[in-house]
A and B are shown apart, each in its own frame.
Chain A
């Protein structure tokens, strides 16, 4: 359970900067291959999670074409570790996060960014002082969505890092494991209650934060 929270939190926070960058690029930049990037980002949403997990295993596993070198050169191993569960959850949640942030970036009036530039702010400062604060509600919504998706991620996780109690056994895999053995229903039910509690509090927190931020940004 604690592992699940940790996996989901790390997955969300670690992918947030990349999510903002990709969302900004998709919303505002014109570059060759934009549709390809867009497709790649959304692929995990469309592919069966098991396929995504298998692809991760092929590429990021110890003998995978990226994982091998990560292990050789940096000693970083994802397969069958909790970090692997983070990676799987992050990739599965990424499209949801990017979609939410991209929508809110597209809603920011570019004329306000122009105004920032005429007042002496460089593009980076315009992004930090105008675009980012105005996008905050979308970023929060995207992060909460990604967190929820990461908490519930099952298919890619179990394929990529298996279901090792204490190491890679996230909440959904634990529920699944309990349901596979006779008499495990009680334990499973306990976890289900916990899952509902976590999900509800995350939802309420996001509502609260989003409302606070919207009130600040909108100004009535």
Chain B
């Protein structure tokens, strides 16, 4: 397990963050300028913080108090950068082999053919990076990091430089990585849908500090944690695919409650995680009748947080899980909402984008 405690002062900005990275994918989640990149650089050894202690299992990578700062090449962390950073003078095959060359003998690395197959880059091996598309470059960069026998993979916004189509192309590879490779991953992102799809743990960052760490359902369902601002908030619901209907809808079961979504690729019985954007949720005190929306979840108000503007964030506990709704403070008053009040959360089927459905 990676433990990080850092303090670093920039002109006009103070970073003070403490968190741990257990197995699986830990997403360091926050808007740009929240200190994510500084943390990744410090963990990789590319930046020396004013104060800090970073340990990986029993190894001390950094301890400013004891004057320890391991050089980047001795940390054995595979890094996937936002811009890929493939070596232009080497072929894809040589790029992939680069890290293995420096890995200590006998270290456990993934087999190259397995990685090449998993990332679907077999046909690119003899090409040079200059001729690859953005998505292909990033897949090679993932493979290169994986093959240096890393003890942890650092992914610094690996999708941020790609367009939506390329993102959709790369995300499944990270999901396979999470499910098939035992190396823990610290994944930096400012995208809520990447959290929904990949995270096993979320570390939410705001203004250089960790505001909450925990399972994604708990962190994203906390109305006080809005690293991207309340506009981007949305809770996660864990569900299982029940069946695909003939009219193109997929029926899920979340805690025994049926949910209808646009057609999903997952097979019946498979678990999925659905991110429901807070601004797509409508609240009603009575069970609404004659409404086109297919998903109506009965629940009780758990918490209300009023923002600085006219908006309010309402957390509702339903049998399907925690749902966040962003409504106006005027509506809160008109409906007489308060913790413990019974409400119905209305979610339009088509408002859930496939990009927000993971696992």
Contact = CB atoms under 8 A, between A and B. Distances in A.
A220 B73 contact: no
A111 interface: yes
B73 A219 contact: no
A122 B98 CA distance: 12
Contacts of A121: 73, 98, 102
Nearest to A109: B85
Contacts of B145: 119
Given A219-B129, A220-B128, A120 B89 contact: no
B73 A118 contact: yes
B88 A116 contact: no
A119 B89 contact: no
A125 B89 contact: no
B334 interface: no
A117 B129 contact: no
B19 interface: no
A118 B71 contact: no
Interface residues of B, number: 31
A189 interface: no
Interface string B132-162: 0000000000001100100000100000000
Interface stretch (A8-16, A48-56, A126-134, A196-204): A126-134
Interface stretch (B53-61, B74-82, B235-243): B74-82
Given A121-B73, A216-B89, A116 B128 contact: no
A114 B89 contact: no
B87 interface: yes
Given A117-B73, A121-B102, A112 B131 contact: no
Interface of B: 44-46, 71-73, 75-79, 81, 83, 85, 87-89, 98-99, 101-103, 127-131, 144-145, 148, 154
Q: Which 3 A-B pairs have the closest CB atoms?
A: A219-B128, A219-B130, A120-B102
